[in-house]
Every structure is written in structure tokens, then in C-alpha cells.
């Protein structure tokens, strides 16, 4: 079993790249999806967030108002760290459960973990979670365009980009780097090459379907 972590910064296209690995047969663990699940109403992380940031964050159905929370933490690095300290341990627990399940099913397979903040946890912690680090790169202009295309105001998009560790710093710690400034086909070629290196004995299928949106 090989476990590879995909990371980058917001708007670089991490989820698009992870999905391409999924096309080739890898099992995908999406940390953002896990982060949503662990803060569902009544769960420990949900309660801790309310205790720290207040009940004003609750929607009528008791779910978190994610946009309001994002507006708070992306403008204040200290508050972002508090949020991460609540959510990350719960995500880690669920991540380990999925890994153990997958190892039992496919001990010789490839797990791809889509973890935006993999390297923010420190290189030593990252290496406990994954064997291989793949950093997805996109230029700042491309990142900004993608966020604005999602409906994020330009000023907010710049704040989100600037509040994250620069992707060039993450690239220094990578085993593989994928440049996602180009077309989907250009990105897919890079993904296939890495997949072949990690799983040289596998019978990979050609990936013909396109993904309309980058992350």
C-alpha cells in the first residue's frame, strides 16, 4: 500500500488532480469532505467551534454557517489556527479509519489523500500521514481567477491566498510537483506519469473523461 498526499494552496486545482488519480484506480480520501463531516451538528468539533466562536455561526437547522466562519478565520491567522486545532484531530481520526479499511480491501493499492493543509501540520506530521507528497502548483494570477470564477469577491480571494503558506514554499518539500496552470490534458499527462512511477505493475486504464472545473 502506498499513501500519497496531494496538497497546494487554494485555487491550485488539488481536487481536480485527485480526481484524475481516481480515474486511474487510486482510492481517494478528501480531507475537506471529512472536515465537513466532523463538524456536523452534535459532533465534538461542532460543539468546540460554537464554544470558541459563538452561536451566531449557527443556521436555523443548527448546521454551521460556513461562509460566516470562513470570513472570520481567513482575516485572522490566530483564529484560523484555533479552528484548525479543533478540526484537524477529528479529521485525523476519520482518516485513519478509512486507511485501515482500505488496507484490508486492497493491500497493494494506492491511496491518494487530498489534504489542503498537509504541510501546515509540519513535515514530520505529514510524513506520518503519507509516504509521498505531491504539490499542485498554479500561479497566483490563475488562483485568483479561479476563486473569482467561484463567486468569491476579489478582495476576499486575495486575503485567502495571502493567508496561506505560499505554494512555492510547499514545493520545496514535495516528492512530485504538478503544474496546473495549463489545460486539463496537460495536467492529466503529469498525473499519469506519477501514477506509473508509484504503481508500475498496475494495468492503468486510459482516462478519457474531462473535468470541467479546476478546484
pLDDT class of 21 with cuts at 50, 70, 90:
very high
Give the residue with greater pLDDT, 62 vs 122: 62
Instruction: Tell the CATH superfamily of the 2-198 domain.
Output: P-loop containing nucleotide triphosphate hydrolases (3.40.50.300)
Average pLDDT over residues 1-23: 93
pLDDT digits (tens, 9 = 90+) for 69-93: 988 998 888 998 899 899 988 988 9
Stated pTM of the model: 0.77
Instruction: Give the rounded percent of residues in the chain with a pLDDT score beyond 70.
Output: 93
- The Cα–Cα gap between 49 and 87 comes to 9
The per-residue pLDDT of the chain, averaged, comes to 88
Residue 195 has pLDDT above 90, yes or no: yes
> Residue 75: its pLDDT value, please?
83
> Residue 207: its pLDDT value, please?
39
> Residue 203: its pLDDT value, please?
53
> Residue 160: its pLDDT value, please?
85
pLDDT digits (tens, 9 = 90+) for 121-173: 788 888 888 999 999 999 989 999 999 999 888 998 888 888 888 888 889 89
> Residue 77: its pLDDT value, please?
86
> Residue 211: its pLDDT value, please?
40
Amino acid at each position: 500500500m502506498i499513501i500519497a498526499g496531494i496538497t497546494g494552496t487554494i485555487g491550485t486545482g488539488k481536487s481536480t488532480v485527485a480526481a484524475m488519480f481516481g480515474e486511474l484506480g487510486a482510492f481517494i480520501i478528501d480531507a475537506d469532505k471529512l472536515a465537513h463531516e466532523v463538524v456536523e451538528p452534535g459532533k465534538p468539533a461542532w460543539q468546540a467551534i460554537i464554544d470558541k466562536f459563538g452561536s451566531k455561526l449557527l443556521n436555523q437547522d443548527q448546521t454551521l454557517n460556513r461562509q460566516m466562519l470562513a470570513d472570520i478565520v481567513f482575516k485572522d491567522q490566530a483564529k484560523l489556527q484555533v479552528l484548525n486545532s479543533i478540526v484537524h484531530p477529528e479529521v485525523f481520526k476519520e482518516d485513519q479509519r478509512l486507511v485501515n479499511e482500505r488496507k484490508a480491501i486492497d493491500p497493494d493499492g494506492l491511496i491518494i489523500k487530498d489534504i489542503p493543509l498537509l504541510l501546515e501540520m509540519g513535515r514530520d506530521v505529514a510524513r506520518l500521514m503519507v509516504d509521498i507528497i505531491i504539490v499542485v502548483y498554479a500561479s497566483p494570477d490563475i488562483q485568483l481567477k479561479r476563486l473569482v470564477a467561484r463567486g468569491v469577491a476579489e478582495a476576499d480571494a486575495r486575503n485567502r491566498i495571502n493567508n496561506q503558506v505560499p505554494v512555492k514554499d510547499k514545493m520545496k518539500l514535495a516528492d512530485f510537483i504538478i503544474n496546473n496552470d495549463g489545460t486539463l490534458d496537460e495536467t492529466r499527462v503529469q498525473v499519469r506519469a506519477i501514477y506509473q512511477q508509484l504503481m508500475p505493475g498496475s494495468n492503468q486504464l486510459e482516462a478519457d473523461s474531462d473535468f470541467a472545473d479546476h478546484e
